[in-house]
Structure 1
């Protein structure tokens, strides 16, 4: 379960709904929960920690969180910031230094009410996020932040370290240069964007790096049957017309095989041998039930060949 949604991504969610979402996921067998200080500026971690303290008091869940941004107090924040609505009163600031990594890790543990997290990822490195500052941020990470993450792992504070990004190039760059346990790639191994499958996933398989495929629904465009009357996002913004047409073409092929588009989207992300887990955002018990139903559905092998030939190459 991804937790950006219970951090009020795009719309406010009540504490009760957030707690019910985590409880339903737990009851349904979900054991990996991915979060980050950035999601609601502490809100998602805080809500996840509160909910898991009830359903998982023995702290058996696998928790993935991130470093790379620190949260500074913001006494009068705007209602909506970075897509999050009514987040906590903090402002995110990029910082990949040693002190920032340690500070972020400690603050996450406090919000999560846990003694430790299992997976610690460096969040949003790369040109897509940092533009002209990308090289400087990468140097700061490699010279300081990465070494600190290694120290935390060597000390037993975390089980695994890695990177979380929605940019394939930066993941390939780091897998080629440093030892990582995990790569979380968001939205780049989906029915609409298979870029990660070209080199990153084979590279990770070769190096023994586990891949978490996040955002299998590409921010929502693949999360509902194509005929559903609902706003559609692709990569966090309104889906462009060309992407809507591609999704419709993929959905039409899926329909011939009796498979709904969201079910195909979820199963596709699981198909590569490098992928150890898939993380999808959920808000509310209904979304959790829908997601778990898709995961349990049968998808015929012939669908993938048909999609490759008729729709995904478009």
Structure 2
């Protein structure tokens, strides 16, 4: 592994260990993902303040979220905080360009600024994207930068070409910025574990952000990605531990799985898990959070919340007592793979 030094003289591998270590204060392992723009009453700054008061010191965002609005709000909410007291991550791969409102698709985002988002994983574009993000967030550096969404979920049949573009452009650009001290750690943020494995085999990464693929419902990464991360001392950051909804709501009508209505086979498996939850008095969401956090490769969870109440609920689920017999029953029923660790 290269021993690139940042402007404070620290090796990036040392920074990775210090910034993404397993902290005895469990709540510090939960990052606040600022995913949706705030409501019109300014809920996001209040949520960040609440997260801070609860001990959260890691915040994740991306240019995609609200077409720059999330970065803007997160940066301004943290503006008066001591920069050495928190970890800040954002992402590259989309260029925001001024464009009239109504001339581009905003997707799920509301109240977006007039910026069109276009994919671009080229070297020069990524350097410009990082500069733009620094200005939007009023920052002089980042702790983590992820190459965002170079997966099949996002690009379909064009994924191999987009991934090749990132290998030639985005990743070398981030390595340069890591060498220069603009960022302390670099990684990939995607929805598919096999893409993460390929990236780790090709690039000297410090961390991996995997959304929705290591959960109570999906555990295959325990056989490849997670052991590889342990071997290489790469920090795994997990998002989507509720599989975009169903592991928080349960198997209710309209439950979401991987951003779509949950299919019947998924709902059936969730019902099986819920039977053991009811038997042991364990909230499904608490089990989902604590299972995801149990693997030694996992250094941090990204738990999104729409408001302060959901933020506090996430914290309560993280601390909810769960008897060992619950995990034993799930494993005996074939609902947890033998290789997957459970909370001790």
| Cα distance change on mapping 1:247 and 1:81 into 2, 3 Å | farther
Name the SS of the counterpart of 2:321 in structure 1.
Answer: coil
- 1:171-250 aligned within 5 A: 171-224=196-249, 226=250, 231-250=254-273
In the alignment, is the contact (CA less than 8 A) between 1:31 and 1:61 conserved in 2?
yes
Q: C-alpha separation between the residues in 2 aligned to 1:78 and 1:3?
A: 25
Pick from 24, 27, 38: which aligns with 2:64? Answer: 38
In the alignment, is the contact (CA less than 8 A) between 2:61 and 2:91 conserved in 1?
yes
Unmatched 5+ stretches in structure 2? 1-31, 338-344
Displacement of 1:280 after TM fit?
1.1
Structure 1 runs of 4+ off > 6 angstroms? Answer: none
Q: C-alpha separation between the residues in 2 aligned to 1:241 and 1:14?
A: 37
Pick from 29, 33, 50: which aligns with 2:76? Answer: 50
Displacement of 1:18 after TM fit?
1.1
| Cα distance change on mapping 1:180 and 1:58 into 2, 3 Å | closer
Unmatched 5+ stretches in structure 1? none
**Which 10-residue stretch deviates more, 172-181 or 232-241?**
232-241
Name the SS of the counterpart of 2:282 in structure 1.
Answer: coil
In the alignment, is the contact (CA less than 8 A) between 2:123 and 2:168 conserved in 1?
no
Other-structure match for 1:2? 33
In the alignment, is the contact (CA less than 8 A) between 1:246 and 1:311 conserved in 2?
no
Other-structure match for 1:86? 111
| Cα distance change on mapping 1:15 and 1:70 into 2, 3 Å | farther
Pick from 134, 148, 156: which aligns with 1:109? Answer: 134
TM-score (norm 2): 0.84
In the alignment, is the contact (CA less than 8 A) between 1:168 and 1:200 conserved in 2?
yes
RMSD across aligned positions (CA): 2.0
- 1:16-27 aligned within 5 A: 16-27=42-53
Paired residues, what number? 306
Other-structure match for 1:280? 303
Q: C-alpha separation between the residues in 2 aligned to 1:60 and 1:101?
A: 27
In the alignment, is the contact (CA less than 8 A) between 1:223 and 1:262 conserved in 2?
yes
TM-score (norm 1): 0.91
**Which 10-residue stretch deviates more, 246-255 or 25-34?**
246-255
Name the SS of the counterpart of 1:84 in structure 2.
Answer: coil
Other-structure match for 2:15? none
